[in-house]
Amino acid sequence: MRDAFATTLLVALFFYCFAVLVSLIVPKKMLWGDPQTRTRLRALKFYGGTWLGLFILLLIVIPKDTQTPKGSNDVKPAQVSVQAEGAPSVSGQEKTPSTPEPIPVATPEPTPEPIPFTKEVLLEIETKVEGKKATVFGRTNLPDGVDLSVSVDDKTPGIFIGQSHATVRNGQFSAGPFGPDAGLPDGIYIAEIVMPVPSVQSDAVREIIGQKGEKLAGKLVSKDSILGEIYLEKQVEFFVGLDRESAKIIQAERNAELKKEASYIYSELNRLVREGRAMDRLRRSEDNLELLRQCGNKMRELKPVAEEIRTRAEALPRKYFSLGVASINITLCVTCSRGLAMDNCQMAAEALSEAKKEMR
């Protein structure tokens, strides 16, 4: 009965505690009578006094555990026996109260501190090619949980590039397989492993390698010039094909073909720039219908050529990026649009200037 009453008092205490807080904020909502007397002081006296009275009453009625542990004060009566002479003698002795043995409390195992990473970073990369697709794997002494960026790139830039992620587990990592559905073309490839800056790693990893990677050391370590954080990178070369020598030959042949194709596109784009600039005389003849007709004919002649060159330029590896830019501008350079055409001819010429540097 006392337990139930104590529980009721406890609930009432929580209610009045809430009422005190509300009445201090909006006393006029929690009091009645004359609005002028609905003040925070009156609300505090009413609800706060009630809360204090309930609290004192709870302390009085709360049940106290007065029971002693079973067997702690059990005393066996002394056993009295009669001797031959009839004098009583105590054959049993009064036992002292037994104290229960304390129950051992399990102490939680202390969490081990992260081992500081002070060793030189080691990173071994291996590749395996099966079915014309490559898997990249390896070993490292980086801590578990480190996120790595893994990429495979053809040595002829733009033929193939694949990217993935790997997480270090027990000193090992693996990513792949890399390659299109038809498989990687024969040739030489580069597998690259990069450990991104610590700010993108987990908290547990940063505890070991340092918040900015300051605990990492070795020849693989580099510092980001903008973020000021440490990152790692390493590359290995591998081949796809019968053997490395055959792959090198195929790679060289492919590079020669691409260089020849790029040279042709470069030459055609330069020719189209000259043609587009020469058309400016025809574009400006607003009153001469014959010249405007000649401009239209020239545009219809050059536009298919410009479209074909653009398609071929966009198929080139990213090494020849500027040729692709010039091919976009050239499609407007050979139109009869006054102003717009000449602006694009100029932009195409500037892109071709950059392309010449890329082709060296």
Helix count (H) and strand count (E) of the chain?
10, 10
Percent of the chain with pLDDT over 90: 31
Q: Between 200 and 8, whose confidence is greater?
A: 200
CA-based nearest residue to 174, from 165, 161, 184, 187: 165
Cβ atoms of 333 and 349 closer than 8 Å: no
26 Ramachandran zone, left/alpha/beta (phi>0; psi -120 to 50): beta
CA-based nearest residue to 117, from 218, 228, 224, 235: 218
pLDDT band at 155 (very low <50, low <70, confident <90, very high): confident
Assess whether pLDDT exceeds 90 at residue 304. Answer: yes
**What torsion, rounded to 10 degrees, do the Cα atoms 49, 52, 54, 55 define?**
170
Pairwise CA distance, residues 63 & 1, whole Å: 10
Rg (CA), the chain: 44
Fold of the domain spanning 123-241 = Immunoglobulin-like (2.60.40)
Assess whether pLDDT exceeds 80 at residue 207. Answer: yes
pLDDT band at 77 (very low <50, low <70, confident <90, very high): very low
Assess whether pLDDT exceeds 50 at residue 83. Answer: no
In terms of Cβ atoms closer than 10 Å to its own Cβ (0-12, 13-18, 19+), residue 106 is: exposed
pLDDT band at 82 (very low <50, low <70, confident <90, very high): very low
Q: What is the pLDDT of residue 290?
A: 85
**What torsion, rounded to 10 degrees, do the Cα atoms 38, 41, 47, 51 define?**
180
Assess whether pLDDT exceeds 70 at residue 145. Answer: yes
Distances (CA, A) of 275 to 269, 314, 335: 10, 22, 10
Assess whether pLDDT exceeds 60 at residue 105. Answer: no
Q: What is the pLDDT of residue 81?
A: 42
CA-based nearest residue to 130, from 238, 246, 251, 237: 238
Kindly report the pTM of this predicted structure.
Answer: 0.49
Q: Per-residue pLDDT averaged across 241-252, rounded?
A: 84
Q: For tokens 């580069």, name the residue.
A: 190
CA-based nearest residue to 220, from 302, 346, 350, 123: 123
Q: What is the pLDDT of residue 139?
A: 93
> What are the beta bridge partners of residue 127?
136
Q: Per-residue pLDDT averaged across 187-205, rounded?
A: 90
Pairwise CA distance, residues 24 & 12, whole Å: 18
Assess whether pLDDT exceeds 60 at residue 33. Answer: yes
* Phi then psi dihedrals of residue 90, to 5 deg: -90, 110
Assess whether pLDDT exceeds 80 at residue 343. Answer: yes
Distances (CA, A) of 78 to 82, 87, 218: 13, 15, 83
Strand ranges inside the chain, DSSP E:
80-82, 88-90, 123-130, 133-140, 147-154, 161-167, 172-178, 187-195, 221-223, 230-240
Assess whether pLDDT exceeds 90 at residue 249. Answer: no
Pairwise CA distance, residues 249 & 198, whole Å: 41
Cβ atoms of 99 and 71 closer than 8 Å: no
pLDDT band at 352 (very low <50, low <70, confident <90, very high): very high
Among the residue ranges 99-108, 188-197, 202-211, the one predicted with the least confidence is: 99-108
